[in-house]
Structure 1
């Protein structure tokens, strides 16, 4: 067997510069060395696994961090919402979907409603922008609604009807009593065929300029309608209606520029 040729300083610098950004196959072709030889030399130089040298994360890892389905990201986020994932070669031929941390946070800022940071540790996806801290707090408050989406029990149905018969409670009061959203209460009454309704708050009172600013700020930061309503002394249904009339885009969490 022939003796392996020595590495030149130029080759060592090229390997270090390209490690984690170029495929092993392309480095192999450029240096005229086998992939195994390159991996062995990289290990001796103290270079980490090329996958760990990438300043980003695989889409599979991201799906676990965000508690989202991998298929949802690939089939929904990428084609419909421009999620900037790309394919990268980490081995001789294997390609995986990845996204850089900076690219992720730029995209996430424009699609806040599509992510939930409540369960994700801070700085797990690189240095976080300032808005992420606010969004995480808002998401945690929304996650505390423990009964959202849970089926109503027969006892709860009976109690709901009794409450409406005996007490003139408002939508926010009833929702708080059952630890559900106002929309969930409204839907349940419709499903039960109950004609009675909670007392509506007066939502025709004009918002002050300060209230409008607070409404937009909290909506953009990701707070739930119930939390915003409590802050403003309004009903959650009224808050949503106001945002709709203002032309607020709920998916992107921003006011459409064409609307006033």
Structure 2
């Protein structure tokens, strides 16, 4: 039986340190700690017990690549926390309410029309209106054909603005892709 102080220690360290380390600090076996988590929290899966979602889960809900969500975390300020689950694996967790606050200021990055209604509760009222409009092709991977067309049109002397209109991509993404492709040739 774990003491009240031990249970507080577990809650404070769960997700911050591996279960083996927490168990060692308490002088208990990792298996004993797992069983206590199941009895006291209903699960030994620290990922499930956070109440947050992972970057991968958010990507599935929004129907975007996981790396798109990772990019939002790294470059666009989407709030997140990294936690260790079970023994060693680290997950990136996103609080759903924090996501919605961030999304309200970054609507142009998300195509809400791809998202099923109420798949990420609590869904703000403004999402219903946003869902009506299909967004431009943000964060879409380039096809081999698009890359070939870009190189051909640039070689033929078309402006990057014209090429971006033909490819239905932003001028900045066309310029960046062209520079990358030129560097590999």
Shorter-chain TM-score: what band? 0.5 to 0.7
**Which residue in the other structure is 2:112 paired with?**
117
Query: Greater CA radius of gyration, 1 or 2?
Result: 1
Scaled by the length of structure 2, what TM-score is found?
Answer: 0.61
Offset at residue 52 of structure 1 (A): 1.5
Scaled by the length of structure 1, what TM-score is found?
Answer: 0.45
Offset at residue 33 of structure 1 (A): 1.9
- For the structure 1 residues 80 and 52, does the alpha-carbon distance in structure 2 shift closer, same or farther, using more than 3 Å as the test? same
CA RMSD of aligned residues (A): 2.8
| 1:64 matched to 2:60 | yes
Asked if 2 retains the 8 angstrom alpha-carbon contact of 1:57 and 1:101, the reply is yes
Asked if 1 retains the 8 angstrom alpha-carbon contact of 2:41 and 2:49, the reply is no
Greater mean alpha carbon deviation, residues 92-101 or residues 32-41: 32-41
Offset at residue 129 of structure 1 (A): 1.9
The correspondence for 2:2, drawn from 4, 7, 13, is 7
Offset at residue 83 of structure 1 (A): 2.1
Q: For structure 2, which runs of at least 5 residues remain unmatched after alignment?
A: 136-161, 167-185
> Separation in 2 of the partners of 1:50 and 1:63?
20
> Separation in 2 of the partners of 1:94 and 1:115?
28
**Which residue in the other structure is 1:77 paired with?**
72
- For the structure 1 residues 65 and 20, does the alpha-carbon distance in structure 2 shift closer, same or farther, using more than 3 Å as the test? farther
| 1:40 matched to 2:5 | no
- For the structure 1 residues 33 and 68, does the alpha-carbon distance in structure 2 shift closer, same or farther, using more than 3 Å as the test? same
Aligned residues between the structures: 136
Q: For structure 1, which runs of at least 5 residues remain unmatched after alignment?
A: 1-5, 144-186, 192-260
The correspondence for 1:131, drawn from 126, 129, 134, is 126
